[in-house]
A = this chain, B = another copy of it.
Amino acid sequence: MTVYDKTLRLAHGEVRLPAFLPDATLGVVRSLDAADLEACGVEAVVMNTFHLMQRPGSSTVEALGGLHRMSGWNKPIVTDSGGFQAYSLIRQNPRLGRLSDRGIAFRPEGAGRKFLLTPEKTVQLQLAYGADIVICLDDCTHPEAPLPVQEESVRRTVAWARRGKAEFDRIVAAKALPPEHRPLLFAVIQGGSSRDLRRRCAEELLAIGFDGFGYGGWPLDEQGELLTDIIAYTREVVPAAYPMHGLGIGHPRYVARCAALGYSLFDSALPTRDARTGRLYVLDLEGDPATTEGWHSVVYVNDQKHVKAARPIDEACDCLACRRYSLGFLHHLYKIGDASYLRLATIHNLRAMVRLTSRLRAGRDG
């Protein structure tokens, strides 16, 4: 079964590829509501098992009817396994958690209890949440970590993916879901900067059998530049028929570059965080952004020169913020710290990402 034909068909609807998926980490894209996302043309979001199991907690997500009913978002939801977040937490402070072959145990600061994330548990939770794409737990590494650490990570990531797949199959069989309601299961390819390890990880995961794959590990170097070579290579070792998710990739230029390399799903907090901190995207999509340069710039809303700007952020944009409000008014809302600024700016940057991926599709199809 190939699930990848420029459109992903998921239990809660279709996602045209390539697609940028905003992060709704705790069940909400910060400062927006589900109707806002629909109005932006967003087709799917990424929510986060690691965070949701803490807040509001898994039993609350279930009591509120699963992630879709809880969040009012009726379209597809991808749920992150939590592997990356647990890695970040432990890397930041090793006393907050521990990783073993069994899984990841952690107790975030301020949390009253310990959490245990195993390969089975993350799949159980994601399925209980009602996710459209479930992601296996992986052992994330820093791209600069030494080879033995990367080898260990690949070994563990493959072992965990195998256990995740078994648990997934068991639950799906027990639920007897019709095929069109069955979630997809993705595995994450680790291996740091080693081509050899990336290839080996991909081949072993392909042998187990998944519906798609994610590029694992932080995708940028210390200078914030895309690790293009290894990202490109990792795509090459996975047959084109499988969708690949560029986890954590969200800069417009990097999305365009990775889409050209064959990646089709992207998520990152960057566009929404940029919006909140006053960095608003201006795109000139006349050319093909996958091949041309200079089509992306940034308006800094807080800049004093925008105080009396009666024009919108971006004349070419059709989002709520650009259709109805001047840059000068958004500057004012930013200065007075009104929450409406956060919403309008987030809507603008997300609409820019949707316009970009539409343009990338047109470039590919044209």
* Residue positions of A touching B, CB distance < 8 A: 26-28, 30-35, 55-56, 59-60, 63-65, 69-72, 307-308, 310, 320, 324-326, 328-329, 331-333, 335-336, 338-340, 342-344
Contact = CB atoms under 8 A, between A and B. Distances in A.
B55 A336 contact: yes
Contacts of A324: 33-35, 72
B340 A31 contact: yes
A55 B335 CA distance: 9
Stoichiometry, as copies per complex, reads 2
Contacts of A333: 28
A84 to B, nearest CB: 20
A304 to B, nearest CB: 12
A326 B66 CA distance: 12
Contacts of A71: 329
Given A34-B324, A307-B60, A308-B64, A27 B332 contact: yes
Contact of A64 (B59, B64, B328): B328
Contact of A329 (B27, B32, B35, B338): B27
8 contacts: A26-B336, A28-B336, A28-B338, A33-B320, A33-B344, A60-B328, A339-B343, A340-B343
Closest 6 CB pairs of A and B: A31-B339, A63-B308, A339-B339, A72-B324, A56-B332, A339-B342
A193 to B, nearest CB: 36
